Amino acid sequence: ILDDPDLKDIDPTVLKHCHAAAATCILEAGKQKADISAISTCLEDCKLDKERIEQFCTEYQKNKDALEILLGSIGRSPLHITDVSWRLEYQIKSNQLHKTYQPSYLVTLNVENSGSGSHPDVSFSCTMEQLQDLVGKLKDAAKSLERATQM
Amino acid sequence: KLNVGVDAIQHGVEGLTYLLTESSKLMISEIDFQDSIHVLGFSDELNKLLLQLYLDNRKEIRSILAELAPKLPSYHSLEWRLDVQLASRSLRQQIKPAVTIKLHLNQNEEQTAQVLQTDPSTLLHLIQQLEQALGEMKTNHCRRIVRNMK
């Protein structure tokens, strides 16, 4: 904002204050999920004229959804699973044991940290029975979710 | 008690151990085992005893040897919980469903538990992907390989 040619005639301190005020107002409105009438009333109390209030509200309405998504994503949460990859292998032998002949799965869960971005993925091996157990439990969770949304 | 020198006993035990682990590792058949120990020139009775010893302990020895192979953490179990986030410091009046999962893994005799979270659509995606993985073993390709590699 400080580099904008249209604003170069204004005292930078005033500009900063305006920016901070506008940002605070927008963030509070977003946080409280305020509707347009609440925002207008608030701005009226601040003695803004009708035209400015209308402009502000229109712009706010345009960006409201993006703002809510952004605010909603701030905050701590456990590692978030984003994707899964798997590998099926058939073990034949190891140097300690020959003729093993067992299928085995290698599953990797791609995870993301809420703030700092990357985190090493969670990998583990499992047998077919264990994978069936895992999938069974996940399906239970999904069924519960479905029931909860129907309540 | 056996009236034999310590060295002889040690060698005996080591020899026996080697015989049993190698046989178990290679999973040799009864006939091959009998042929192998025949060259040692023991009595028939002793050979029979050794064969029985091999057959009785083979499974257990193999499962112990299996522990020595390189491995990754393995799956133990999974617990899940449904949560709905209603508000946070930065945003009020939310309805954000999430599935919180506690994944129990075994690594080198230790159990670790990791808490993870996912959203409903990713959960469905995970289920679909892993079901595909399970289905792979039943395909013709895999069946053919399993059949031909016995």
pLDDT of residue A2: 64
Q: Which residue of B has its CA nearest to A143?
A: B124
Instruction: Locate A50 and state its tokens.
Output: 């009708």
Greatest Cα-to-Cα distance within chain B, rounded to the nearest angstrom = 86
Instruction: Using an 8 Å CB-CB cutoff, list chain B residues near A133.
Output: 75, 77-78
- By Cβ distance, the residue of B68, B93, B137 closest to A33 is B93
Q: What are the pLDDT digits (tens) for A132-150?
A: 999 999 999 999 988 888 8
Check if the beta carbon of residue A149 is closer than 8 Å to that of residue A124.
no
Which of A74, A107, A126 is the endpoint of a domain? A74
Check if the beta carbon of residue A99 is closer than 8 Å to that of residue B23.
no
Q: What are the pLDDT digits (tens) for B55-73?
A: 898 889 888 888 777 778 8
Range of the domain at A105: 81-150
pLDDT of residue A117: 65
In a domain, B1, yes or no: no
Q: What tens-digit pLDDT sequence spans chain B (150 residues)?
A: 677 788 888 888 898 899 888 888 888 888 888 888 888 888 888 888 888 988 898 889 888 888 777 778 888 899 999 998 888 888 888 888 899 999 999 887 788 898 999 999 999 999 999 999 999 888 898 888 888 887
Domain check: are B28 and B52 in the same one? yes
Interface probe, candidates B22, B74, B91, B99, chain A, greatest A C-beta count within 10 A: B91
In a domain, A51, yes or no: yes
Q: Please state whether beta strands A122-126 and A102-113 pair in parallel, antiparallel, or not at all (unpaired).
A: antiparallel
Ramachandran assignment for A33, one of left (phi > 0), alpha (psi -120 to 50 degrees), beta (any other): left
Range of the domain at B77: 72-118
Residue A127 to residue A103: CA distance in whole angstroms: 7
Domain check: are A97 and A127 in the same one? yes
Domain check: are B50 and B101 in the same one? no
Domain check: are A99 and A62 in the same one? no
Q: What are the pLDDT digits (tens) for A81-117?
A: 999 999 998 888 888 888 888 888 999 999 888 766 6
Residue B90 to residue A71, Cβ atoms within 8 A: yes
Indicate the pLDDT class of residue A1, thresholds 50, 70 and 90: low
Q: What is the DSSP letter of A118?
A: E
The total number of residues written for chain B in this structure: 150
Q: How many domains does chain B have?
A: 3
In a domain, B83, yes or no: yes
Residue A12 to residue A1: CA distance in whole angstroms: 9
Domain check: are A70 and A98 in the same one? no
Report DSSP letters for B82-95, one per residue.
EEEE---SS--S--
Which of B28, B50, B68 is the endpoint of a domain? B68
In a domain, A44, yes or no: yes
C-alpha A82 chain-centroid distance: 11
Residue A31 to residue B78, Cβ atoms within 8 A: no
Q: Predicted ipTM?
A: 0.75
Q: Please give the single-letter amino acid code of residue A126.
A: C
